[in-house]
Structure 1
Amino acid sequence: MEYQFSHDTTSGNFRAKFNTEHQVFGQWLETEIGSNQANLSKVLKMLDGVAHTHQQDIKYVGHQYTLVLSNEDAIIALNASLEGEEMSENLAEQALEFDETESAMCGIDDFHQLMLAWANFLTK
């Protein structure tokens, strides 16, 4: 998984750019985590829980995306796709972009490294 982080000093927003296959991870980081240390800590604790227990799946439901962690994978999906809601008119017109940003998956170790990299980036 390839990614690049940046900080917009004008708006104060942190940005995460990913390859097309994993771009939903960037959107999730920006939307659900951002620079919020409480949310970041919660996800890191969830990762520790997955690593040290044999829980089935742990979910983190955000405003727009849901993260599902298992012992092997991390999956991020747009809440609307999980709830079976119809796509908005705007997204229906851009179905190709919706398909590419609806969900993504990676290995749990890669996701853990991503979260540590994001935490490190925020503290710089």
Structure 2
Amino acid sequence: MEYEFVHDAITGAAKAKFSYGHEVIGPWLEVEIGDNTEKMRDLLTAIANIDSGKNNEIMITGREYSVTFSHDDVIVQNNSSINGEAQEMPAELAEDFDDYEQSCSSSCGIDDFRQLLLSWAKFTNTLQ
């Protein structure tokens, strides 16, 4: 998983760009976490609880995206893909939808995700 953090040239807002297959993590970081210290601590606590065996799985649902932690991996996905809001579509659009659907969900290892969160926290000055 490759990523880059940048500041928007106009607004100064923190932006996250991710490699193919992990694109959904960028908007999740921007929309659900931003520079919110409490949310960052909640995520790091969830990872610690999984690592310690206190929990087998933890799902944190946000406004637009959700993240699920387990011993094996972390899955970030758009809430519409969880709720099954996708409807039946014509065959002509099915191929394009497959690309869209892949950009609605992404997974990675829990250690990589922890490092990602710490990097984002450093970039946004979220944890002091």
Output the TM-score relative to the length of structure 1: 0.86
- Which one has the bigger helix percentage? 1
Q: CA RMSD in A?
A: 2.3
1:43-80 CA distances to partner (integer Å, 9 max, x unpaired)?
11111111112522101100111100001100011111
Give structure 1 regions of 4+ aligned residues with deviation exceeding 3 angstroms: none
- Aligned residue pair count: 122
Shift of 1:97: 4.7
Paired position in structure 2 for 1:99:
101
Paired position in structure 1 for 2:117:
115
Give the Cα separation in 1 of the matches to 2:58 and 2:102. 24
Secondary structure of the equivalent of 1:21?
coil
Output the TM-score relative to the length of structure 2: 0.84
Paired position in structure 1 for 2:15:
15
RCO comparison, higher one (Cα < 8 Å, 6+): 2
2:73 is equivalent to residue 73 of structure 1: yes
- Give the number of the structure whose alpha-carbon radius of gyration is greater: 2
Q: Could you list the runs of 5+ residues in structure 1 that have no partner in the other structure?
A: none
Paired residues of 1:46 and 1:58 also in contact (CA < 8 A): yes
